[in-house]
Amino acid sequence: MIQIESLFKAYGNIKAVNGISFSVKEGDLFSLLGTNGAGKSTTIGILTTLLAKTSGAVTVGGIDAAKNPERVRELIGVVFQESVLDDKLTVRENLMVRGSLYGLRGARLKSCVNEAIRLTALGELDTRLYGRLSGGQRRRTDIARALVNTPRLLFLDEPTTGLDPKTRRDIWRLIRNLQKSRGMTVFLTTHYMEEAAESDDIVIIHKGEIKARGTPTQLKAAYCTDLLKITTTDGRYNEYKLRSTLEALPIIERHKENIANVEIINGTLDDVFLNLTSGKNSLCEFFPPTDSTAAAGGMN
């Protein structure tokens, strides 16, 4: 669905995006992760035709984004970090206005708006002013706006920032349902690693360059560790960093005669992210990727 090759974007002497290459499969939930200033929003800006690239190749749905930006826009929907809707219009009025900008008219426009409202469960709110909605309701309306043109590809630029945990969960339930029911490709940027953990594929970008790519499981296996904590009956406390939880078994076996307490803490995407972007370890000690994730033995 997306193909990026050697993409550069410079602002004067600053390389916001520095020669990155990756692809996104159709129907996948793809996450682009990075700290503020890493190049995430610049990359999305280029993919959505809002920014011009300095060099490189970008295709969306097989279409060259630089040569045919209008055709690319027909394929995509975008939920921006900040809302672009009008506080003084109702939910339905906002969607009708945005739908008309895609060239939708008459019965076709009404049908597309009705479908977007249905998919986002906004039926009871469609006559309410956008400015009087709660944060979660506003976000659902933003998603509905992005769905009016029936996109094949949905961009979500930090869609749940500032929302409470329950509302974030509800928004993500909606997004996953849309992806599964419509076969939609979803391109996500987020600061919440638990959201990225549901991804089919992840790219971590730092200072405009790709630091790692893989599934959540692959990234945790390559760039993070589990932690085994053992307290023995004589009061001694030991910690072991592990490439995989299975490495804990022989260590526990060695101590089985005098174990008072055992705790295993699994590495997370937070650990991977911090390890790759800050140089600081949380739980984990960095293990370079190898051809095998087989255990080499615990480390005390």
And the tokens for 94?
Answer: 């906002």
Cα–Cα distance for residue pair 136/51, rounded to 1 Å? 29
Cβ-in-10-Å burial (0-12, 13-18, 19+) of 291 comes to exposed
C-alpha distances in Å from residue 272, one per residue of 137, 276, 291, 292: 33, 6, 18, 18
Residue 297, pLDDT above cutoff 60: no
What local confidence, expressed as pLDDT, does residue 8 receive?
97
Instruction: State pLDDT tens for residues 10-50.
Output: 999 999 999 999 999 999 999 999 988 899 989 999 999 99
And the tokens for 152?
Answer: 């094949």
Please provide the DSSP assignment of 35-87 as one string.
Answer: -TTSSHHHHHHHHTTSS--SEEEEEETTEETTT-HHHHHHHEEEE-SS--S-T
Cβ-in-10-Å burial (0-12, 13-18, 19+) of 222 comes to middle
Average pLDDT over residues 164-174: 88
What local confidence, expressed as pLDDT, does residue 83 receive?
86
What local confidence, expressed as pLDDT, does residue 145 receive?
95
Cα–Cα distance for residue pair 176/2, rounded to 1 Å? 20
Please tell me whether the overall predicted TM-score, pTM, comes out greater than 0.85 for this model. Answer: no
What local confidence, expressed as pLDDT, does residue 235 receive?
87
Instruction: State pLDDT tens for residues 31-41.
Output: 999 988 899 98
What local confidence, expressed as pLDDT, does residue 280 receive?
53
Share of the chain above pLDDT 70, in %: 93
Instruction: State pLDDT tens for residues 104-159.
Output: 999 999 999 999 999 999 999 999 999 999 999 999 999 999 999 999 999 999 88
The edge-to-edge listing of strands for the beta sheet with 76-79 is 76-79, 153-157, 185-189, 29-33, 201-206, 209-214
Average pLDDT over residues 236-240: 89
The separation between the first and the last C-alpha atoms of the chain, rounded to the nearest angstrom, is 46
Query: Which of 78, 109, 79 minimizes the C-alpha distance to 93?
Result: 109
And the tokens for 112?
Answer: 């597309």
Query: Which of 175, 141, 10, 153 minimizes the C-alpha distance to 72?
Result: 153
What local confidence, expressed as pLDDT, does residue 180 receive?
87
What local confidence, expressed as pLDDT, does residue 279 receive?
59
Instruction: State pLDDT tens for residues 194-206.
Output: 889 989 999 999 9
Give the mean pLDDT of the chain.
Answer: 88
CB count, 10 Å around CB of 21? Answer: 14
Q: Which residue has the higher pLDDT, 66 or 267?
A: 66
What local confidence, expressed as pLDDT, does residue 278 receive?
79
